[in-house]
Chain A
Amino acid sequence: MPANRFNNFTNYGIGIGLRVPHYQHILSRKPTVDWFEIISENFMVEAGRPLQVLDQILEQYRVVQHGVAMYLGSTDGLNREHLKKLKRLVKRTNTPWLSDHLCWGSVDGRYTHDLLPLPYTFAAAAHVAQRIREVRDYLEVPLLVENVSSYAEFHASEMSEWEFLSEVVEKADAGILLDVNNIYVSSQNHHFNPYDYLDNIPHHRVGQIHIAGHSKFEKYILDTHDHPVLDPVWKMYAHATRLTGTTATLLEWDDRIPSFDEVHREALKAGKFCKGLAGGTPAEGGQAALKDAALSLP
């Protein structure tokens, strides 16, 4: 959705992730960018250069926070220190919404620093939804939940991933950060149709979209964020935007990072798929438009 309560009724365009190798370019040349996404944890520090850079960026640009360590699916208690620092950062950035992943990453106070998959059970969905509500109430800002890429599935699962995502966000009344690349990666690793995923989530809850590149290995695909976006992901993105309407979109490029201009150019390709979707009303019969969009791939 272009503007909804999950992205705080904003209508952001195409953004890119704020990354260290680009700091100098951005601060000195001040390129035109719709918005930057920051990794919250990189700026949840007490002082020093990270916050100095952030403040300079905030003077010029709109910033949205994206977290990697809230671990909404963990069974440990919520980390109050983490939340306190996160809230302080929310006040600093004035982020209209923030996001984190539908995953877990710590147990018994030990942190893996990874975005680990959950078993898709009703109990897990209820547990995560409860935590999302608690976090959102504390932070007082809309919270989007992002689907992760995964390499393992559990015997304990009782539903598909998209059913699980839907169950969680409906129960928590939360929004979705739809990572199209993650869906593609997981669909290849777990043999499902990624379009079934896109078609069967609550589209009105999508507040932001992620696109990224991945790496193919012999027997699986790894979500590496070190390549341009690949064609199948662009096709899915086109389909997703037909379903959700033009939505704030962010290109993730986190490793082997090329020049700022190259990353920005790659991100702006997303604009080709959003033309003609002014107003962002979900389209009926999106498949035809999808084919057109796919043919016009850069």
Chain B
Amino acid sequence: MKSKSNGVKKLRAIQRQFAAGITRPLTASNHMQPKWVDGTSTRKAVASFIKPNDRLSSFDRLEIYNKQYWFRLIDCLYEDFPGLRTVVGEKRFYDLAIAYLTKYPSNTYSLRDLGNRLEKFLVREPKWMKPHPKLAHDLVRLEWAHVVAFDGDALPPLDVDSLLGQGDPAKLRLGFQPYITFLACDYPVDNFIISVRRREEPQGEASNAVAERVPRKKQKKLKLPKPEKIYLAVHRSENSVWYKRLEHEAYLVCTGLQKGLPLQKACERALRLRKADPNFGATLQQWFTQWASFGWFCAA
């Protein structure tokens, strides 16, 4: 029993060494760093657990995995965040991807979740969003919302009749589908991201091995949008992702409900902005009918 556990400990030690080597950022010329994690020689450290052969040193052999690691993960972020990449530029995006993955290495088995902490990272290190920090911030939120809307969980939707029959609006709470994200943006990023995605060439599936990134074809620079406050629901309908613009008041109702406010309180948030509108009750009813028809509501 003891020798078995020793064997697993040794295996774990090798795996930690290996992972430490391959997850270290590459040098500017895309090679493994000459210094190991403890500041000693990488060549010496790697030679202690990896065999050389007649063509490749231990260093060369681990370097293959080191490159694969970074090319694969950066490729994935490239594909998931084309808008952010367009705005900050290819070079800065490459550097920010490395900084992000160094600070927040992948913590799930799925590459789908690789960007799940990118917004958090950028908020903490806003230098990466230069020269258009607000636009970049809007885009990273929209692009992550797109990932969530694409294949996020869906719960049984509530229809209008169910909504009406739920009782006292002062106490009634409604949930939104887990795949929906509501965003308040400083730029019309919905139109911008659609233009960006149209320009992107379709990429192949990720395979086990990835080649060094080939620079994309030189394209005419996309015009960046001018500031404009917009409110969006990023949602899914018939298995396609949609960006639906909302009025400010509608956004307030939705985010109020999403925060857990009772129906009446959530609507009062909007009412404050529409006090003078005698038809606001009818507008609210139209909104709820439409949202219910999209299947947005579920049990809170």
Point out residues on A near B: beta carbons under 8 Å. 19-21, 41, 44-52, 68-69, 71, 73-75, 79, 82, 104, 106-116, 118-119, 121-124, 126-127, 148-149, 151-156, 189-191, 215, 219-220, 222-226, 252, 254-257
Tell yes or no: B194 within 8 A of A by CB.
Answer: no
Determine whether the beta carbon of A156 is less than 8 Å from that of B14. Answer: yes
Q: Which residues of A contact B108 (CB under 8 A)?
A: 111
Determine whether the beta carbon of B208 is less than 8 Å from that of A149. Answer: yes
Determine whether the beta carbon of B69 is less than 8 Å from that of A254. Answer: no
Q: Which residues of B contact A119 (CB under 8 A)?
A: 11, 14
Tell yes or no: B170 within 8 A of A by CB.
Answer: no
- Contact partner of B105 (CB less than 8 A), chosen from A20, A111, A149, A220, is A111
Q: Which residues of B contact A51 (CB under 8 A)?
A: 151
Q: Mark B24-61, 1 if CB is under 8 A from A, else 0.
A: 00000000000000000000000011110111101011
With A and B bound together, what is the CA distance between A191 and B56 in angstroms? 12
Determine whether the beta carbon of A45 is less than 8 Å from that of B151. Answer: yes
Determine whether the beta carbon of B109 is less than 8 Å from that of A225. Answer: no
Determine whether the beta carbon of B179 is less than 8 Å from that of A47. Answer: yes
Determine whether the beta carbon of A113 is less than 8 Å from that of B106. Answer: yes
Report the minimum CB–CB distance from B154 to chain A (whole Å). Answer: 4
Determine whether the beta carbon of B151 is less than 8 Å from that of A19. Answer: no
Residue of A nearest to B178 (CB): A46
Determine whether the beta carbon of B150 is less than 8 Å from that of A111. Answer: no
Can you pick out 11 interface pairs between chain A and chain B where the beta carbons lie within 8 Å of each other?
Answer: A47-B179, A49-B151, A52-B239, A110-B105, A119-B11, A123-B6, A154-B50, A191-B53, A222-B209, A224-B209, A226-B207
- Contact partner of B8 (CB less than 8 A), chosen from A75, A154, A190, A254, is A75
Q: Which residues of A contact B112 (CB under 8 A)?
A: 45
Determine whether the beta carbon of A224 is less than 8 Å from that of B153. Answer: no
- Contact partner of A256 (CB less than 8 A), chosen from B56, B152, B204, is B204
Determine whether the beta carbon of B107 is less than 8 Å from that of A21. Answer: no
Q: Which residues of B contact A152 (CB under 8 A)?
A: 50-51, 58, 61-62, 64-65
Q: Which residues of B contact A224 (CB under 8 A)?
A: 207, 209, 211
Tell yes or no: B16 within 8 A of A by CB.
Answer: yes
The total of Cβ contacts below 8 Å across the A-B interface reads 177
Tell yes or no: B254 within 8 A of A by CB.
Answer: no
Q: Which residues of A contact B205 (CB under 8 A)?
A: 19-21, 254-255, 257
Residue of A nearest to B204 (CB): A255
Tell yes or no: B123 within 8 A of A by CB.
Answer: no
Where chain A touches its partner, the secondary structure class is loop
Q: Mark B1-20, 1 if CB is under 8 A from A, else 0.
A: 00110111011101110110
Residue of A nearest to B56 (CB): A219
Determine whether the beta carbon of B8 is less than 8 Å from that of A127. Answer: yes
Report the minimum CB–CB distance from A42 to chain B (whole Å). Answer: 9
Determine whether the beta carbon of A46 is less than 8 Å from that of B154. Answer: yes
With A and B bound together, what is the CA distance between A217 and B239 in angstroms? 42
With A and B bound together, what is the CA distance between A36 and B253 in angstroms? 46
Q: Which residues of A contact B109 (CB under 8 A)?
A: 41, 69, 71, 79, 82, 106, 111
- Contact partner of A113 (CB less than 8 A), chosen from B10, B55, B72, B211, is B72
Q: Which residues of B contact A108 (CB under 8 A)?
A: 16, 19
- Contact partner of B152 (CB less than 8 A), chosen from A19, A47, A189, is A47
Determine whether the beta carbon of A47 is less than 8 Å from that of B153. Answer: yes
For the complex of A and B, the 10 pairs showing the least CB-CB separation, nearest first, are A123-B7, A254-B207, A46-B153, A48-B151, A45-B151, A69-B109, A75-B12, A152-B61, A111-B106, A47-B154
Determine whether the beta carbon of B208 is less than 8 Å from that of A220. Answer: no
Determine whether the beta carbon of A110 is less than 8 Å from that of B152. Answer: no
- Contact partner of B240 (CB less than 8 A), chosen from A49, A109, A222, is A49
Report the minimum CB–CB distance from B112 to chain A (whole Å). Answer: 7
Known contacts A47-B179, A107-B12; is A254 also within 8 Å of B64 by CB? no
Determine whether the beta carbon of A48 is less than 8 Å from that of B16. Answer: no
Residue of B nearest to A46 (CB): B153
- Contact partner of B209 (CB less than 8 A), chosen from A48, A79, A191, A225, is A225
Interface residues of B in 138-155 (CB under 8 A from A): 150-154
Q: Which residues of A contact B240 (CB under 8 A)?
A: 49
Residue of B nearest to A69 (CB): B109
Q: Which residues of B contact A255 (CB under 8 A)?
A: 204-207, 210
With A and B bound together, what is the CA distance between A254 and B203 in angstroms? 11
Determine whether the beta carbon of A49 is less than 8 Å from that of B7. Answer: no
With A and B bound together, what is the CA distance between A89 and B114 in angstroms? 22
Determine whether the beta carbon of B8 is less than 8 Å from that of A116. Answer: no
Q: Which residues of B contact A254 (CB under 8 A)?
A: 204-208
With A and B bound together, what is the CA distance between A116 and B8 in angstroms? 16
- Contact partner of B55 (CB less than 8 A), chosen from A73, A110, A154, A219, is A219
Tell yes or no: B110 within 8 A of A by CB.
Answer: yes
